[in-house]
Structure 1
Amino acid sequence: MPPSPDAVGAGPAYRAEHPVPDGSGGPRPEGRPAPGEPGPEGRPGRAKKKAGRNLPAAIGVGLGLGAVIIASLFVEKTVFVGVVVLGVVVGLWELTSRLAERKRIHAPLIPLAVGGAAMVVAGYVRGAEGAWVAMALTALAVLVWRMTQPPQDYLKDVTAGLFAAFYVPFLATFVVMMLAAHDGPWRVFVFLLLTVVSDTGAYAVGWRFGNHKLAPRISPGKTREGLVGAVAFAMAAGALSMTYLIDGGRWWQGLLLGLAVAASATLGDLGESMIKRDLGIKDMGTLLPGHGGIMDRLDSLLPTAPVVWLLLVIFVGAS
């Protein structure tokens, strides 16, 4: 998977060009003008672009993580459910830890982790009804658990807890709800594929052609050109995926699915960028070299999951 574009200040995906300062004072290689100096044809030299992260580490970790996820997906459904549960618990730990460190907001992790795991399992076994019941019970557990501590900041802590319960485990239940269908592994594979392709398209096009910022106050590195790349790549992959991987799928459905994925993945990136800017951090964690934390990889996946689940239900049915 490509490195996350949500680093505060500037992520690599959708990246606009940035000049490389020359502090050496020494001669430049022949034929390579400094940024702003006239080039061979009288035009200012183009700035050298930087990726912004350790790309070899990011690519290696991404490929390894992707291999584990895909293997668990097609070996046994329940193994993949376990992988989702693990990702949810680690993501909750990262989110609550950063809230406590940066904002002194203490969302109770234990009821969130237990309730989040139960939410994922309930979503797989009982569908949307089970997920909603588990969400309600998790919210109740957060309210009661926090009562064992002094009342100061009670409202702030439980509000953050309810947000965390919705943002991480509840949205993740839509992944296992896709998995429950007869062709569930392929539905989840298409969901993962389109999200990764969208991020990759944004990264490649934005890095090469990005000049017009998309949301400079939220994520200055994202560009409109990168968004166009995300849409184009995701729509093409969607048309192929719906034609060849999903039972009863049609190519035009794939175009709509790819467009929706590009939009939701971009909004998810921007949403987590807002959170990280508010917290004043670059990454949510350090578990994945070149990527940050688990939440830095889930930022576009979580909000995309309900979108893909709903569209696949509309296009080809729930089961």
Structure 2
Amino acid sequence: MNDSSWRAPSQTGYRGPTDRAPFQGAGAAGPAYDAQDAPQTRPMPIVPDVPAQGGDQDDDPGAARPGGPFFRDETQNPEPMPHASQPAPAPQKKTAGRDLGAAIGVGIGLGVVIVASLFIVKAVFVGVIAVAVVVGLWELTKRLQERKDIKAPLVPLAVGGAAMIVAGYVRGAEGAWVAMALTALAVLVWRMTEPPEGYLKDVTAGLFAAFYVPFLATFVALMLTAQDGPQRVLTFLVLTVVSDTGAYAVGWRFGRHKLAPRISPGKTREGLIGAVLFAMAAGALCMQYLIDGGSWWQGILLGLAVAASATLGDLGESMIKRDLGIKDMGTLLPGHGGIMDRLDSLLPTAPVVWLLLVLFVGSG
């Protein structure tokens, strides 16, 4: 019961016993009411003011937040105030928020497939990239239609996206740009077969999807064309994974200050520092021992750039998912979500790594 239930007596209602006036309702000659003969009442207990949620919270725990209950790290379930005679509940341990065993198993499986295809036959790895792009486009367009009623044409996006990857590997950057332009044209024409209502938002989303997924992924194929292409791609993958792992490990253990609470409440500044340190260390090792002509100091700069681009890419997809009101883009990968949930940090990092490697050691 809160203090509001203990109200002052109403001005028009019953005032309680008093010894200043005769008993109301008795005649003029009736006996006077003696307060000493009335049963004594217990004094009203003094209830201290206790905040409902504790601390210095400024926001309403029940207020709606972007994304709602789809985000596990945003759902607030305030615990009831413990009774005075009961001990306070023990603090709960931090949890990863996902099936960690499934996530590790799926990650190892993906790593085996990627490394095997990368070092056995380059063309097979190009096919792996193309399949990942097509699945990612399917997830993205499906979520856009479900949540925002935006119908980005999937067929020209999937065909053009796979063509971008192949063209980038076979014909280089020029081939990728030509494939991108043709894909954009195909999206504009394909959508003309539908009613004109919503044409602008549909083709805009289609052009965004074409750039965001297949075009950025083309830079992985461009890295692969170098003589030491497999080593360059492996460096790109290792640095991105190490950056994400460092951010998770340090943020989970030491994270106290939010990095971007309105976009991704789970990310912390301490986690960003962990991502930078881990990626710089991995970059120094990879550039020194994997890349022909590379040096450790170049790896430090490369790791710093990867940590920044991977974090921004992760925040960028979090912004998209928050706008759509979903937690994951898909459910294809147990413990990870969908393909797009794994590509979020890889896609914007690919052009950064490709460019820095070209500047440091040439195009190969």
- Which TM class, normalised by the smaller chain length? 0.7 to 0.9
| Counterpart residue type for residue 211 of structure 2 | F
Is the aligned partner of 1:191 residue 2:236? yes
Q: CA deviation at 1:33?
A: 6.8
Q: Is the 8 A contact 1:9 1:220 kept in 2?
A: no
Equivalent-residue separation in structure 1 for 2:217 and 2:125 (angstroms):
12
Q: Is the 8 A contact 1:247 1:316 kept in 2?
A: yes
Is the aligned partner of 1:83 residue 2:145? no
Q: How does 1:251-290 map to 2 (within 5 A)?
A: 251-290=296-335
| Counterpart residue type for residue 126 of structure 1 | R
Match 1:9 to one of 44, 66, 71: 71
Q: How does 1:192-211 map to 2 (within 5 A)?
A: 192-211=237-256
Structure-1 residue corresponding to 2:182:
137
Q: Is the 8 A contact 1:287 1:294 kept in 2?
A: yes
Q: CA deviation at 1:9?
A: 3.2
Q: CA deviation at 1:56?
A: 0.3
Q: How does 1:15-54 map to 2 (within 5 A)?
A: 34-35=90-91, 47-54=92-99
Q: Is the 8 A contact 2:231 2:290 kept in 1?
A: yes
Q: Secondary structure at the match of 2:111?
A: helix
Q: Is the 8 A contact 2:239 2:279 kept in 1?
A: yes
Q: Is the 8 A contact 1:8 1:219 kept in 2?
A: no
Q: How does 1:1-319 map to 2 (within 5 A)?
A: 9=71, 34-35=90-91, 47-319=92-364
Q: Secondary structure at the match of 2:193?
A: coil
- Number of equivalences: 294
Structure-2 residue corresponding to 1:43:
none
Q: CA deviation at 1:24?
A: 11
Equivalent-residue separation in structure 1 for 2:127 and 2:94 (angstroms):
40
Query: 1:204-228 CA distances to partner (integer Å, 9 max, x unpaired)?
Result: 0000000100000000010000000
| Counterpart residue type for residue 222 of structure 1 | K
List alignment gaps of at least 5 residues for structure 1.
Answer: 1-6, 36-46
| Counterpart residue type for residue 257 of structure 2 | H
Q: CA deviation at 1:128?
A: 0.9
Give the superposed CA RMSD: 2.2
Please, what TM-score do these two structures have when normalized by structure 2? 0.77
Q: Secondary structure at the match of 2:227?
A: coil
Please, what TM-score do these two structures have when normalized by structure 1? 0.88
Q: Please list every run of at least 4 consecutive aligned residues from structure 1 whose deviation after the TM superposition is greater than 3 angstroms.
A: 7-11, 18-25
Q: Secondary structure at the match of 1:221?
A: strand
Query: 1:74-133 CA distances to partner (integer Å, 9 max, x unpaired)?
Result: 110000000000000000000000000000000000000000000000000111111000
Equivalent-residue separation in structure 2 for 1:70 and 1:253 (angstroms):
24
| Counterpart residue type for residue 189 of structure 2 | V
Q: Is the 8 A contact 2:246 2:275 kept in 1?
A: yes
List alignment gaps of at least 5 residues for structure 2.
Answer: 1-68
Equivalent-residue separation in structure 2 for 1:163 and 1:291 (angstroms):
24
Q: CA deviation at 1:48?
A: 1.6
Q: CA deviation at 1:34?
A: 2.2
Q: Secondary structure at the match of 1:222?
A: strand
- The percentage of counterpart residues that share the same residue type is 80
Equivalent-residue separation in structure 1 for 2:348 and 2:82 (angstroms):
45
Equivalent-residue separation in structure 2 for 1:275 and 1:302 (angstroms):
15
Equivalent-residue separation in structure 2 for 1:182 and 1:198 (angstroms):
26
Higher alpha-carbon Rg: 2
Change (3 A) 1:316 1:144: same
| Counterpart residue type for residue 48 of structure 1 | K
Query: 1:264-287 CA distances to partner (integer Å, 9 max, x unpaired)?
Result: 000000000000000000000000
Higher relative contact order (CA closer than 8 Å, sequence separation 6+) = 1
Equivalent-residue separation in structure 1 for 2:264 and 2:71 (angstroms):
6
Q: CA deviation at 1:10?
A: 5.5
Equivalent-residue separation in structure 2 for 1:226 and 1:244 (angstroms):
27
Q: Is the 8 A contact 2:162 2:214 kept in 1?
A: yes
Q: Is the 8 A contact 1:143 1:158 kept in 2?
A: yes
